[in-house]
Amino acid sequence: MTDETKEIIGAVQEMFLDMKQEMKQEIGEIRLELAEVKQLATKTAMTLENETNKNVQLLAEGYLPLTEKVDTLTEDMEIVKFNVDIIKKVVTTHSKELDRLGKAR
């Protein structure tokens, strides 16, 4: 092998070693970024599990189906109607009494 060939091979080996070192460095950086992404994904999953799922559960517990709300409103309306009827009767009775008392004077 000639000196020139040895120099070329040495240069090529040096280039490969430099490329290998650069690749190791880039791989190390990628691993760090991947670890950060994993950490962020874990935090996001924990937030979803602890906060979002809990809030959805609380909403579901506080939710009344529309039919139950309508039934409750219907019952309330019946009570209000009954009370209004009683008030009407009392007012009518009192009005008649006042008219009778006014005529008696």
Is the pTM higher than 0.95? no
Q: Note the pLDDT of residue 70.
A: 76
Q: What's the gap between Cα 33 and its chain centre? A: 28
| 23, two tokens | 């690749």
Residue 19 vs residue 48, higher pLDDT: 19
How far is CA 63 from each of CA 52, 53, 96, rounded to the nearest angstrom?
16, 15, 49
Residues in the chain: 105
Q: Note the pLDDT of residue 21.
A: 95
Give the span between the Cα atoms of 29 and 36, in whole angstroms. Answer: 11
Q: Is the pLDDT of residue 19 over 70?
A: yes
Q: Is the pLDDT of residue 10 over 80?
A: yes
Same domain for 47 and 96?
no
Same domain for 16 and 48?
yes
Same domain for 82 and 58?
no
Domain of residue 17, residue span: 1-63
Same domain for 1 and 44?
yes
Same domain for 7 and 43?
yes
Same domain for 25 and 15?
yes
- For the chain, the domain total comes to 2
| 47, two tokens | 């937030």
Amino acid symbol at 97: E
Give the span between the Cα atoms of 102 and 104, in whole angstroms. Answer: 5
Per-residue pLDDT reduced to its tens digit, 47-101? 888 888 777 777 777 776 767 777 788 888 999 999 999 999 999 999 988 888 8
